[in-house]
Amino acid sequence: MVDKKLSGAGLRGQVAGETALCTVGKSGSGLTYYGYDIKELAEKVSFEEVAYLLANGELPKQAELDAYKARLKTLRGLPQALKDVLERIPADAHPMDVMRTGCSFLGNIEPEEDFSQADAKIERLLAAFPSILLYWYRFTHDNVRIETETDDDSIGAHFLHLLHDKKPSKLHTDVMNTSLILYAEHEFNASTFTARVCASTLSDLFSCVTGAIGSLRGPLHGGANEAAMDLIRDMKDADEAERTLMGMLERKEKIMGFGHAVYREFDPRNDIIKGWSEKLAQEFGDSRLYDVSVRCEDVMWREKKLFPNADFFHASAYHYMGIPTKLFTPIFVMSRVTGWTAHVKEQRANNRIIRPSADYIGPAPRQVPALANR
Ligand SMILES: CC(=O)SCCNC(=O)CCNC(=O)[C@H](O)C(C)(C)COP(=O)(O)OP(=O)(O)OC[C@H]1O[C@@H](n2cnc3c(N)ncnc32)[C@H](O)[C@@H]1OP(=O)(O)O
Ligand SMILES: O=C([O-])CC(=O)C(=O)O
């Protein structure tokens, strides 16, 4: 796998544009946002600082950060019309579909009327996504209409507070902060490219983000964190994990949460979230899921030279924090909206409509036969 040449299918390895936002698989640990290494960001800053960085190109000074966080707090409330829509989405809908609808509907009642409003709409979406998700989730699952305006200092804490109806511990707040930083941006991945294609038609921000959510939903992309949890949930111990994976590999099944379209040997986000998963396992007092995950990692590298991507250890980490599995990928949305929208702005600033060509493989030219002769 390490030596595999990238072929052109899926546009792999082809340059499809320029970006100043992010490097994937290049210098340092392999991932930087505006030149800052992901490891250093994950250690030293808050997700809100990263969101500000992606929106503005520089980290905020203290006063800028305070003002930014204060603004985001004021944008957590949802209009009644949106709450009405959320209440009509059934409990068994997929939460990614709820995010997609919530985003699209907000675009109807608070549209981006011209591009000068982009920054305000980006802040609105960033602040509103946890509220959209959890207003729907708590209404349909717990039969309560929650107040979505909390005074939590961070988006991660706000999310956990709305979910569990109490302020989260410092450990859980820190894990959410790191997780949101790790998921924020990743160059021309499928969902971001979707957003850029949409932006290149000069469409509005809500359309770009709605399309991106649709692309992120699939199990080959963001949906892999949920799929990874489905894989490990019932594994009793590491030996069972090994047996299950060996069987799956023999049957040539895909193991969700492993492999990557660009990284060849490791995903720099994995070690970081894996470390948090281990800490959470200790706090939880049951390391089964962590041990099972470590064995999966060992088996996949030994057998296929495949490594866990950002999604794999997120599964156990989120589970230890009591987050329902079907909410895993929407958390990715809550974070990646920063990267998507930064790319939309970058595309708009230097735009040409994205419209590639195709090699034709269909029939040679022919005449339309009469209906009776077909
Ligand atoms: C945050 C994110 O979005 S990270 C990605 C999340 N997605 C997943 O975890 C889903 C599982 N992984 C995958 O499906 C793939 O690795 C992708 C979609 C991430 C990348 O796809 P590609 O760029 O096509 O992968 P790549 O070219 O490295 O594949 C090489 C070979 O390894 C195999 N392979 C890759 N990943 C896996 C896997 N997870 N399980 C089993 N086999 C795999 C491929 O089938 C391919 O085999 P082949 O050459 O016989 O066809
Ligand atoms: O870059 C990719 O193809 C997928 C990925 O890891 C991400 O979007 O975070």
Residue 25 pLDDT greater than 90, yes or no: no
Q: Which fold has domain 224-321?
A: Cytochrome p450-Terp; domain 2 (1.10.230)
Condensed to tens digits (0 to 9), the pLDDT of residues 235-280 reads 999 999 999 999 999 999 999 999 999 999 999 999 999 999 999 9
Q: What is the mean pLDDT of residues 302-323?
A: 98
Condensed to tens digits (0 to 9), the pLDDT of residues 222-232 reads 999 999 999 99
Q: Which fold has domain 22-220+325-349?
A: Citrate Synthase; domain 1 (1.10.580)
Q: How far is the CA of 146 from the centre of ligand 1 (A)?
A: 40
Q: Do domains 22-220+325-349 and 224-321 have the same CATH topology?
A: no
Shortest-distance atom of ligand 2 to CA 309:
6
Reported as a pLDDT band with limits 50, 70 and 90, residue 2 is very low
Q: How far is the CA of 194 from the centre of ligand 1 (A)?
A: 20
**Residues contacting residue 4 through CB under 8 Å, at least 6 positions apart:** 264
Mean pLDDT estimate for the chain: 96
Asked if 103 contacts 210 with a C-beta cutoff of 8 angstroms, the reply is yes
Residue 87 pLDDT greater than 80, yes or no: yes
Ligand 2 site, residue 186, Cβ cutoff 6 A: yes
Residue 55 pLDDT greater than 60, yes or no: yes
Ligand 1 site, residue 217, Cβ cutoff 6 A: no
List strands edge to edge, sheet with 22-24: 22-24, 31-33, 36-37
- Point out the residues that are catalytic: 260, 311
Nearest to 34 by CA among 67, 14, 58: 58
Nearest CA to ligand 2 atom 3: 189
Place of tokens 């808050």: 46
Nearest to 4 by CA among 241, 182, 284, 264: 264
What ligand is nearest to the CA atom of residue 225? 1
Shortest-distance atom of ligand 1 to CA 267:
4
Token pair of 58, please?
């520089």
Task: Give the ranges where 143-261 is alpha helix by DSSP (H).
Answer: 155-164, 170-183, 190-200, 205-216, 224-232, 238-250
Residue 93 pLDDT greater than 90, yes or no: yes
Residue 5 pLDDT greater than 90, yes or no: no
Q: How far is the CA of 275 from the centre of ligand 2 (A)?
A: 20
SS3 147: coil
Ligand 2 site, residue 131, Cβ cutoff 6 A: no
**Residues contacting residue 173 through CB under 8 Å, at least 6 positions apart:** 154, 156, 157, 160
Ligand 2 site, residue 335, Cβ cutoff 6 A: no
Distance CA 198, CA 119 (A): 18
Distance CA 149, CA 282 (A): 32
Instruction: Give the pLDDT of residue 1.
Output: 43
Reported as a pLDDT band with limits 50, 70 and 90, residue 8 is confident
Condensed to tens digits (0 to 9), the pLDDT of residues 132-191 reads 999 999 999 999 999 999 999 999 999 999 999 999 999 999 999 999 999 999 999 999
Reported as a pLDDT band with limits 50, 70 and 90, residue 7 is low
What ligand is nearest to the CA atom of residue 329? 1
Q: Taking the domains of the chain in order of start, what are their residue ranges?
A: 22-220+325-349, 224-321
Token pair of 206, please?
């809500």
Ligand 2 site, residue 314, Cβ cutoff 6 A: no
Nearest CA to ligand 1 atom 17: 260
Ligand 2 site, residue 218, Cβ cutoff 6 A: no
Nearest to 289 by CA among 267, 321, 266, 258: 321
Ligand 1 site, residue 256, Cβ cutoff 6 A: yes
Q: How far is the CA of 200 from the centre of ligand 1 (A)?
A: 28
Q: Is 28 exposed, middle or buried (0-12, 13-18, 19+ CB in 10 A)?
A: middle
